[in-house]
Structure 1
Amino acid sequence: MSINIKDAQDVFKDAGESVDFVILNLKRENVEKEREVIAEFADLQNSIINSMRIRNQNDQLAVAWGFSSDAWDYLFPNADKPRELAPFKEIKGPKYTAPSTPGDLFFHVRAKINAVVYEVLDQFMDILRPITTVVDETHGFRYLEGRAIVGFIDGTENPAGVESMDYTLIDSDDDPEFANGSYAFAQKYNHNMDAWKALPTDEQEKTIGRRKFSDRELEEDEKSPNAHNIVSKDEEGGVEHKIVRMNVPFSDPSKDHTGTYFIGYSKSFHITNTMLTNMFTKSDRLLDFSTAVTGTMFFIPSKSVLEKIADGDL
């Protein structure tokens, strides 16, 4: 196995204090012009990020961005394609559906303060705005003690630190041309918080499969049969396969609109898709309170591939 974390974008577990997720569509009015702008952006984005890190050294800026399958086909029709890059297919379970929604470009920007996130995305959009339209922009935040908005600690079972790269980065043995890239799945959920808050704490714990205060995992016989931490796993072949996942809260309290933006980074989208399939076909108990409203898969290129895009060599 061979990966190089220095060649990778920020696809590790670091939800940040302030987060912005942006999905854009290309206008598809002039492919040559749009390809030129994307090349310009691929060339400039690293200096924008580095400049902000110098100016705000303690604010922990992290950025990942990439392309959907449709965008890749449109911009780089003669180039090879990442092995698993394809449109996400809707998953229809007996009760709930994971929809497939459009999007060409994806951005995940996070930092300790919102001003840094704003400044980076403002500079990004100065370049990209003429060739794109906005599909969705969601502003997220770090909730108390790093908990998901439903009140439970987020990401306890996530691979941590450098170890996470073994789960998120494509190995050169598997797809050499796109080594150190990653697959990202972005999915937005709206929550029925009134119904969730009305659920007694012990029932919430059975739903998630963990204690709410201590974060300790429940014994198997204490959980609901379709508890979230049972059905959201990929244990294909008797081995648990992991991804790096973040559940980022967002809310407009005055509008009673609260939800979770799920982002999952993986070296193989097959793993993420298996987790999603399990959740929706086995009717994850958490879905009784959470409605998936978006779902799009993207490829996050390595820095080496971004350099090729900038040079027009893809």
Structure 2
Amino acid sequence: MSAGQPVDTGLTRSATFLVFSVLQTDSSMRAVRSVLSSVPDITKNISIRDTNANLTCVVGIGSRAWDSLMRLPRPAELHPFPEVRGAKQTAVSTPGDLLFHIRSERRDMCFELERQLIEKLGDTVQLEDQTVGFRYFDARDLLGFVDGTANPVGPSAISDVVMISEEDENSNATTVGGSYVVVQKYLHDLKAWKALSIEQQEAIIGRTKLDNIELEDADDGQQQSHKTLATIEDASGKEHAVLRDNMPFGSPSTSQYGTYFIAYSRHLWVVEKMMERMFLGNPRGLHDRILDFSTPITGSTFFAPSLSILKRLGD
């Protein structure tokens, strides 16, 4: 299998998420291809200053730019993020041709990689979103709960969940070793959330707040917790996981508190089914109650090709 990008780096103390649109000109596409092919080398040149900082960068390509930028067969499931309009909230679809997911134990390393990428991209791109995330205590979100508990553990388990293999239906030389990536930026109403009792919060999330113990699922037909709605099974009853690397972000001085949701998967439909269950409800009408306190303001889909594909873009 082709070596994938470092999607399995794991939760670091700092992360930067950059989403760009690419100017649709031949010269811009050539320039962007050159920059993307050099990302592994740029990352290496910065990381050598402190190898313990674990600096990595994953590059994702959006649907609109794929054909003109990559000039390779499209991944079978790649398409724009589909808006999901529920009774309470809408999973919005926002522009995004490029995603850079930068991670490190040091904020300054993330900063330097971001600076060099933006300098090299120049006026070939337009910034759609920039979010700086941080690790909050013992991997908790700003709602106070441990995040990412359902992630697969171990290299082989992560690979099975994240990377497209030669055996996958509709795989090709372009997609083997790659991953689909979905990002959403959520803002939280912490004042309203904190007005709930701990027991009410736990019922919404589906886990205890202090010690992260999973609570029993609701009976069929009743209101389900976030944990249950985010658990996806196929028609045969097989459970399909994704790899999340969510990060809190915020600014107390401006009363902004949020979670940057990012999920890697070998099957895009798994993440999209999760969105349907959360926003439309399962059963329909009983939406995920976390959406009473969390509002998505972005939503974009990308494909992260293998390292070999990425490096060849500059040829």
Superposition TM-score, scaled by structure 1 size = 0.93
The partner residue of 1:235 within 229, 233, 236 is 233
Identity %: 37
Contact kept? 1:69, 1:86, Cα under 8 Å: yes
The answer on 1:176 being equivalent to 2:192 is: no
Contact kept? 2:11, 2:245, Cα under 8 Å: yes
1:121-141 deviation line (CA, Å, top 9, x unaligned): 111111112201111101110
The partner residue of 1:202 within 199, 204, 222 is 199
Aligned CA distance change for structure 1 residues 310 and 53 (closer, same or farther; 3 Å): same
Q: Where does the alignment leave 5 or more consecutive residues of structure 1 unmatched?
A: none
Contact kept? 2:218, 2:225, Cα under 8 Å: no
The answer on 1:298 being equivalent to 2:302 is: yes
Q: Which secondary structure does the structure 2 equivalent of 1:189 belong to?
A: strand
Contact kept? 2:56, 2:103, Cα under 8 Å: yes
The answer on 1:74 being equivalent to 2:73 is: no
Q: Which residue of 2 aligns with 1:247?
A: 246
Q: CA deviation at 1:13?
A: 5.7
Q: Which residue of 2 aligns with 1:122?
A: 115
1:148-174 deviation line (CA, Å, top 9, x unaligned): 111111111110130211101111222
Q: Which residue of 1 aligns with 2:284?
A: none
Q: Which secondary structure does the structure 2 equivalent of 1:87 belong to?
A: coil
Q: Which amino acid aligns with 1:100?
A: S
Partners of 2:142 and 2:8 in 1: CA distance: 21
Q: Which residue of 2 aligns with 1:309?
A: 313
Q: Where does the alignment leave 5 or more consecutive residues of structure 2 unmatched?
A: 282-286
Partners of 1:192 and 1:72 in 2: CA distance: 36
Q: Which residue of 2 aligns with 1:94?
A: 87
Which is further off, 110-119 or 13-22?
A: 13-22
Q: Which residue of 1 aligns with 2:160?
A: 166
Q: Which residue of 2 aligns with 1:64?
A: 58
Q: Which secondary structure does the structure 1 equivalent of 2:19 belong to?
A: strand
The answer on 1:277 being equivalent to 2:276 is: yes
The answer on 1:41 being equivalent to 2:35 is: yes
Partners of 1:13 and 1:270 in 2: CA distance: 23
Partners of 1:187 and 1:139 in 2: CA distance: 14
Which is further off, 140-149 or 230-239?
A: 230-239
The answer on 1:144 being equivalent to 2:137 is: yes
Aligned CA distance change for structure 1 residues 310 and 133 (closer, same or farther; 3 Å): same
Q: Give the paired residue count.
A: 304
Q: Which amino acid aligns with 1:130?
A: D
Report runs of 4+ in structure 1 exceeding 4 Å deviation: none
Q: CA deviation at 1:307?
A: 2.6
1:201-221 deviation line (CA, Å, top 9, x unaligned): 111110100010110111235
Contact kept? 2:39, 2:57, Cα under 8 Å: no
Q: Which amino acid aligns with 1:103?
A: G
Partners of 1:300 and 1:308 in 2: CA distance: 14
The partner residue of 1:192 within 164, 189, 209 is 189
Superposition TM-score, scaled by structure 2 size = 0.92
Q: CA deviation at 1:300?
A: 0.5
Q: CA deviation at 1:119?
A: 0.8
Q: Which amino acid aligns with 1:307?
A: K
Partners of 1:196 and 1:129 in 2: CA distance: 41
Q: Which amino acid aligns with 2:46?
A: M
Contact kept? 2:185, 2:298, Cα under 8 Å: yes
Q: CA deviation at 1:79?
A: 2.9
Q: Which amino acid aligns with 2:124?
A: I
Q: Which amino acid aligns with 1:209?
A: G
Q: Which residue of 2 aligns with 1:134?
A: 127
Question: Could you say what the CA RMSD is over the residues aligned between the two structures, in angstroms?
Answer: 1.7
Q: Which amino acid aligns with 2:259?
A: T
Q: Which secondary structure does the structure 2 equivalent of 1:148 belong to?
A: coil
Partners of 1:298 and 1:152 in 2: CA distance: 28
Q: Which amino acid aligns with 1:303?
A: L
Partners of 1:263 and 1:13 in 2: CA distance: 13
Which is further off, 269-278 or 7-16?
A: 7-16
Q: Which residue of 2 aligns with 1:226?
A: 224
1:9-40 deviation line (CA, Å, top 9, x unaligned): 12126231111101011122xx2211221222
Q: Which secondary structure does the structure 2 equivalent of 1:58 belong to?
A: helix
Q: Which secondary structure does the structure 1 equivalent of 2:7 belong to?
A: coil
